[in-house]
Amino acid sequence: MSFEPSDKYTDSALRIGDTDPYPQRLVGEFIGTVVSNDWVNPEYKHLILKVHPHALKAYAGQMFHLLCPSPDGAEVWMRRPMSVYRVDRTEGQVEFLYKTEGRGTRGMAKLGPGDDFNIAGPLGHGFKLEPGWKNIVVLGRGVGLATLAPLSQLAAEHGVGVTAILSARNPDVVMSKELFEELGAKTITVVDTDNSSAVENVETILEDLIAKGKADAFFTCGSNRLLKLMQRLGEKHHVPGQVAMEQIMVCGFGACYVCMRTFKVDGKLTLKRVCRDGPVFNMQEAVGW
């Protein structure tokens, strides 16, 4: 592996076994060790990284800023934000599920077992479960499902039931089904190839879950049309919701304002930084795109 992070990053980053000089801090820079980085289908890879214990404080919906290796020898200038797929506190590992499509993720795809990988985080505000919620509905599409998957872990820890509606182009690229089911979620797969992913069909599924008392809250990521659908049904049936917003980022911690998006709060349009104010927001405040 030819990746050599610059000294300015490695000097300050904690490695596994290092004593954390600031154990109360929220965010840190860490050098993890790759355990595995395997293809799960023709488009997506699953990276498992052994990390410093501080990084294990990450929870569902939060992200890390990744210093990806170069895929071609030229420098990769910026870190890449990526939501955490799973936190395995027993094994001391964080996991990422990612689509290899840009230079950062193509470089990341080259990582192999034993390689160092520099991550900064955990960043942002993730998903929250309110006391009293017994059953939640998760609806996502594509790589958005990787962001939603750790909700099943959070829900399992709090005794909350999950119905996960997994939307994809075709059955071969349905993401996160195993993780949801492993943690006790009921999954419903909808795909473009048989038109079951059509908004009308998903609406019928959601209405049925609401009628059965299985929808104390909605969660979504990865599709504007599904966000709009959940917003509409949430408003109609008074179901609260949260959305994880996807946005291009540079600094990842609120300094550069590159990630600003419009939200509607108390009837007024306002701008917020997705990296720092989110990436998880009140679903009804999100303005689609």
Footprint of ligand FES (CB under 6 A)? 249-252, 254-259, 273, 275-276
Smallest distance from ligand FES to CB 271, Å: 11
> What are the structure tokens assigned to 53, written together?
């214990």
If one counts every other C-beta atom within 10 angstroms of the C-beta of residue 169, the result is 14
3-class secondary-structure state, position 272: strand
Q: Nearer to ligand FES by C-beta: 156 or 260?
A: 260
Q: What percent helix, strand, coil does the chain show, rounded to 5?
A: 25, 35, 40
Tell me the closest approach of the beta carbon of residue 278 to ligand FES, in angstroms: 9
Closer residue to ligand FES (CB): 16 or 258: 258
Tokens of residue 78, six digits:
């910026």
Q: Which residue has the tokens 């909808």?
A: 190
Residue number, 255 or 287, with CB nearest to ligand FES: 255
Nearer Cβ to ligand FES, position 188 or 250?
A: 250
CA distance 84 to 98: 10
Token readout for 123 is 């960043």
CA distance 192 to 170: 6
Q: DSSP H helical segments within 134-189, as ranges?
A: 144-148, 150-157, 177-182
Closer by beta carbon to ligand FES, 86 or else 273: 273
In the bound state with ligand FES, the residue whose beta carbon lies nearer, of 119 and 190, is: 119
Quickly tell me which residue has 């470089």 as its tokens: 107
Closest approach of ligand FES to the CB of residue 274, in Å: 6
For tokens 């079951």, the residue is 196
CB of 280 to ligand FES, least distance (A): 14
What is the nearest approach in angstroms of ligand FES to the Cβ of residue 226?
A: 24
Q: Which helix (H) or strand (E) holds 168?
A: strand 161-168
Identity of the residue, 40 or 255, whose beta carbon is nearer to ligand FES in the bound complex: 255
Determine if residue 176 is left, alpha or beta; phi over 0 gives left, psi from -120 to 50 gives alpha, anything else beta: left
What's the one-letter identity of residue 166? L
CB of 18 to ligand FES, least distance (A): 27
CB of residue 35 vs ligand FES: minimum separation in angstroms?
Answer: 29
Nearest approach, Cβ of residue 89 and ligand FES (Å)? 28
Pairing relationship of beta strands 280-282 and 44-50 according to DSSP bridges: unpaired
Q: In this complex, which beta carbon is closest to ligand FES, that of residue 221 or of residue 226?
A: 221
What gap in Å lies between CA 189 and CA 170, rounded to an integer? 10
